[in-house]
Amino acid sequence: MSPLILECQKRPDTIAPIVCSTGQHREMLAQVLGYFGIKPDIDLGLMKPGQTLTGLTSACLLAVDEVIQQQKPDCVVVQGDTTTVMASAMAAFYHHIPVVHVEAGLRTGDLMAPWPEEFNRRVAGIVTQLHCAPTKRSADALLAESVPAENVRVTGNTVIDALLHTVEKQRSETESLAQKYPAAMADSVVLITGHRRENFGGGLADTCDAIAELARNHPETQFIYPVHLNPNVQGPVHDRLGGLDNIHLVPPADYPEFVWLMDRADVVLTDSGGVQEEAPSLDCAVLVTREKTERPEAVDAGLAELVGTDRQRIVDRVTDALASRSEKAKASATDTIINNPYGDGKASQRIADWMLERFAS
């Protein structure tokens, strides 16, 4: 959402953005807000230890309801597929406030994968007035659900706006970042992320076991794993991967640092939706530890591959990817970004223009 907030702030004569933070994952949130120079106008502070999805949903719904009553906005903008998105869209609907859904129309067709994100974005979609679809495929999914065509536009995804804003700057920071992440300067690097709820338990354990086997099989390759703060991730990752010399379990990297790590990586092993969109721009081999994805464009374009959480399959595909990467030099990131199926870096401009076109009067 950061690029869209910045775009709105560039238009003070026509748009008065009110930035509302739920306060979830505060440490990681503070990093990215600081990088983009964004200070929330409202901080709801909803995060509580051991909070259930039901508890979070109800707390978010009540808190956003109060904000809407106080601020009386012309529209409410939500992005993606989180519980916050669903609850905020519902609260806006109850007040007859139009909803703008950034990154709309992503679908797997399975309510349980990803869980609960597929449910969240479908609920948000029901009450949305402006569906900002990142790709034609996402737009077609919305049209197939009988969303009026005048309420759907292919805008591209703001994640590419953010990436373009960041990558060139971070390349100039290599000397200092190399001191923090010396393993990233190796000739062979695998970057790993994992945090999806549906992978908690057996799926994450099998993935970790695969990474451990790969590390033993490829001692020259450095495996860098910024470990999510969720205890369901921290426990099994440290239990299974701690102590191996070429596996580096590091705290969650802030956004610009993570972009730099992707830029250094030969292979990215991830269950993240955003990384599926970003990493192909930086010419990484992208292997997705999920059985289904709401972002099939990269898979269709041969820029990503679904490998699930089967231990042997992960070992085989990462091994193949490392072998393939060693045989060719990385292409320039600029060339790859231009061909990224998720956008050209101008999504935020298109979304702000559309909001003014629809709501300014």
Catalytic residue among 101, 196, 228, 240: 228
Phi-psi region of 251 (alpha: psi -120 to 50; beta: other; left: phi over 0): beta
CA–CA distance, 68 with 90 (Å, rounded to integer) = 11
245 is catalytic: no
Compute, in degrees rounded to 10, the torsion defined by CA atoms 202, 321, 340, 283: 120
Contact between 61 and 83 under an 8 Å Cβ cutoff? The reply is: no
Count of CB atoms within 10 A of residue 235's CB? 11
Catalytic residue among 7, 81, 206, 294: 81
| 98 phi and psi angles, rounded to 5 deg | -60, 145
228 is catalytic: yes
- Tokens standing for residue 99: 């909803």
Catalytic residue among 7, 101, 103, 278: 103
Q: How far apart are the first and last CA of the chain?
A: 24
Host H or E run for residue 337: helix 333-338
27 is catalytic: no
- Residue/partner pairs of 133-136 with CB below 8 Å, 24 or more apart: 133/104, 133/105, 134/103, 134/104, 134/105, 134/106, 134/277, 134/342, 134/343, 134/347, 135/297, 135/341, 135/342
Catalytic residue among 137, 197, 311, 358: 197
CA–CA distance, 303 with 270 (Å, rounded to integer) = 13
Catalytic residue among 7, 101, 117, 131: 117
Catalytic residue among 137, 171, 195, 311: 195
- Tokens standing for residue 23: 């306060």
Q: Nearest-CA neighbor of 78 among 4, 161, 153?
A: 4
43 is catalytic: no
357, burial (CB in 10 Å: exposed 0-12, middle 13-18, buried 19+): exposed
- Tokens standing for residue 201: 């338990």
Which residues form the catalytic set?
81, 103, 117, 195, 197, 228
